[in-house]
Amino acid sequence: MDSNGILYLVATPIGNLEDITLRALRVLKEVDLIGAEDTRNSRKLLNYFEINTPLTSYHDHNQKTKGRQLIDKLLGGINIALISDAGMPGISDPGSLLVKQALEAGITVVPVPGANAALAALIASGINTDQFIFHGFLPRRKKEREERLLLLKEESRTVIIYEAPHRLLATLKCLAKCWHGGQVAVARELTKKFEEFVRGTSQEVLEHFLVTQPRGEITMVLEGNREISQGSTREKQGLGLTQPKEENNPVEQVMGLVKQGYQKKDAIKAVSNLLRINRRILYQQVLEAEGKGKGKR
């Protein structure tokens, strides 16, 4: 019989307390300990539902040391629930590292799903939901943010982004300048009293927020590049392919940015950061591709 404890990943409401699940409430009451991103915020939630389970902090700044402590407790038979301030732990919040550590230690990990801002925004955006990618937050620096958006511009799937209200205008201005003509939806204060969706082109959405100050938690849903999607579909139909073709080759993305006027080193840096691949390896691949291209002339 397994004497280890269980690590539960419990979703919490993103605004409306009624969105918590009955299962989540039961698990939070039954576990021995709850790891929380911000114990002050989480204590308010637990007090509301009359849950007296002990709390301990687990956040970006202590996750390495605290993670080891939590793993030791789990190995000792203690059941632990991990929660974030809102939504699912591990989605733009601490959690993924602890899950990796738990699995490596042979500990059972159980998701307790619930509210999620990215999916809530997506399904009500009016934008295609068949295929999508979740990007999380864009880089804070202007140049890196613009580089990232230029890469995402070539994405045929719907893109979901989290953004801070004080950076929304800068992101929308960049979209209005560089984005293709696809639709944009900005979801604000999801599930709360002042929930709002603003839909339209990037320019239309920008004009709205130039006169209406953005406030609260923001999720952006960006329509994929239909020209790339349609071209890919035609190519698949012409070749009779049944499996989806692998898109957005890193080397091709670098070449695309270079054609748009970016320095090669900046393009390689942007693509390696986006796709989380080794920069040196990508550099060698680009050099090899350039060599092959010269040989074909």
Sequence-distant contacts of 198-206: CB under 8 A, at least 24 apart: 199/125, 199/126, 202/172, 202/175, 202/176, 203/176, 205/172, 206/169, 206/172, 206/173, 206/175, 206/176
- Quick one: pLDDT at residue 246? 44
pLDDT in tens for each of the 297 residues of the chain? Answer: 578 999 999 999 999 999 999 999 999 999 999 999 999 999 999 999 999 999 999 998 999 899 999 999 999 999 999 999 999 999 988 999 999 999 999 999 999 999 999 999 999 999 999 999 999 999 999 889 988 998 898 899 999 999 999 999 999 999 998 888 889 999 999 999 999 999 999 999 999 999 999 999 999 999 998 876 555 444 434 433 333 334 468 888 888 888 877 888 888 888 887 777 888 888 888 888 887 655 444
- Quick one: pLDDT at residue 104? 96
Give the H/E segment covering residue 188: strand 184-188
- Quick one: pLDDT at residue 230? 55
* d(C-alpha 41, C-alpha 14), whole Å: 12
- Quick one: pLDDT at residue 234? 44
- Quick one: pLDDT at residue 277? 83
**Phi and psi of 83, rounded to 5°?**
-130, 160
Give the H/E segment covering residue 25: helix 22-30
* d(C-alpha 284, C-alpha 131), whole Å: 31
- Quick one: pLDDT at residue 245? 39
* d(C-alpha 151, C-alpha 138), whole Å: 12
- CA 114 from centre of chain: 16
- Quick one: pLDDT at residue 32? 98
**Phi and psi of 183, rounded to 5°?**
-75, 155
Q: In which region does residue 92 sit, left (phi positive, over 0), alpha (psi from -120 to 50) or beta (all else)?
A: left
**Phi and psi of 111, rounded to 5°?**
-80, 140
- Quick one: pLDDT at residue 238? 40
Residue 269: CB atoms within 10 Å: 18
